[in-house]
Amino acid sequence: MGYPKSVLTKNRKGETEVRGLLDRGRYVRYNYINPDTGKIMENGKFSIILKDEKGGRSGHGAAERPLSGLAGSSASSRGGRQDEHYFMIPMKGRWMAILDKGNKLRKVWNEKESKAEDA
C-alpha cells in the first residue's frame, strides 16, 4: 500500500514503519505498521502524545500530573500547547514509557479516512 512520506519513520533497526492512528481525544495514540505488509511491527509497541488544547494542563496542578513530573521531562510547546510524547515499549508483562525530548511535529496515518493527519 502506498503511504505518504509524512507518516513513514525508521525504527532502531533501520526498518521503515508507518505511524498508524489508533485513537485520539486529549491524546493521540498510534502504533507502528509495516508499510509493505500492513501488519503491526515489534510486539505491539505504540506511542502516545498527551495533548493540552488550552495551553495549560486542563486545570490540574503539577502534583496531579504524574507523567509530566518525571525526571528529565520536557514538554514541547507548539502554538501555545504543551504536548508530551511517550514511546510505550512492552517488556515481559510490563510497559516501559520513554519520554521523547524532541519537539518534532508528527503525522499519522488514519486508516478510516485513508489520509495523513497531524498527531
Could you write out the DSSP letters of every residue in 85-116? EEEEEEETTEEEEEEE------EEEETTTTEE
| CA distances, 116 to each of 28, 38, 90, 109, 112 (Å) | 13, 15, 26, 5, 11
Provide the pLDDT for residue 32. 92
Provide the pLDDT for residue 93. 87
Provide the pLDDT for residue 82. 73
Name residues of the chain where pLDDT drops below 70.
Answer: 42, 53-81
- Residue 14's φ and ψ, nearest 5 degrees, are 85, 5
Provide the pLDDT for residue 84. 87
Residue 71: exposure state from Cβ atoms within 10 A (0-12, 13-18, ≥19): exposed
Provide the pLDDT for residue 53. 64
Provide the pLDDT for residue 20. 93
Residue 58: strand, helix, or coil: coil
